[in-house]
Amino acid sequence: MPRYTSISDLQPKLVDAQIALGASTVPTAAQAEAILEQVEAEIHSYLQNRYVIPLTDAESILFVRGLALSLAAERIYALAYPQAQFNPFAPEARAARDLLKHIMRGEAQLPAQSAPIGGAFADFGEPTEPKHKAGESL
């Protein structure tokens, strides 16, 4: 079961696209659940080298929930309307992926409570006095 979002979070996003999720709909609720799992795995692939996965703090989960909903809505729309020339969720899914790529590269970060693992944002404390004086041979 996905940790960051659920079918009940997703359904309001799909209303304007006239997509309902149920046992006998296209896509089915089971397919939507599988898509949410795939989206979570995709998000983890971007974050796993910088953050402890799964995310546990509420602020980061809320942030990631929005990204997950965008990515899932794009995939669900493609299943519901396979012949569609335009997916109205594609631009926001593309923006979500771009943001995840920026986070992966250290150019952006999740909310402060989810401290990145090491890297450019690690806190090494106050600088100490140098061990050697300027001009002194090392």
Q: Which domain holds residue 88?
A: 7-108
115 found inside a domain: no
90 found inside a domain: yes
pLDDT at residue number 124: 41
85 found inside a domain: yes
Enumerate helices (H) and strands (E) in the chain, giving the number of each.
4, 0
134 found inside a domain: no
118 found inside a domain: no
126 found inside a domain: no
Which amino acid is it at 131?
K
Question: Which residue numbers in the chain have pLDDT < 70?
Answer: 1-2, 112-138
The structure's pTM equals 0.79
Q: How do residues 18-39 score in pLDDT, each as one tens digit?
A: 999 888 888 999 999 999 999 9
52 found inside a domain: yes
Domain count, the chain: 1
Q: How do residues 56-74 score in pLDDT, each as one tens digit?
A: 888 999 999 999 999 999 9
Classify the phi-psi angles of 18: left when phi > 0, otherwise alpha if psi is within -120 to 50, otherwise beta: left
125 found inside a domain: no
Please say whether the beta carbons of 26 and 82 come within 8 A: no
Which amino acid is it at 18?
Q
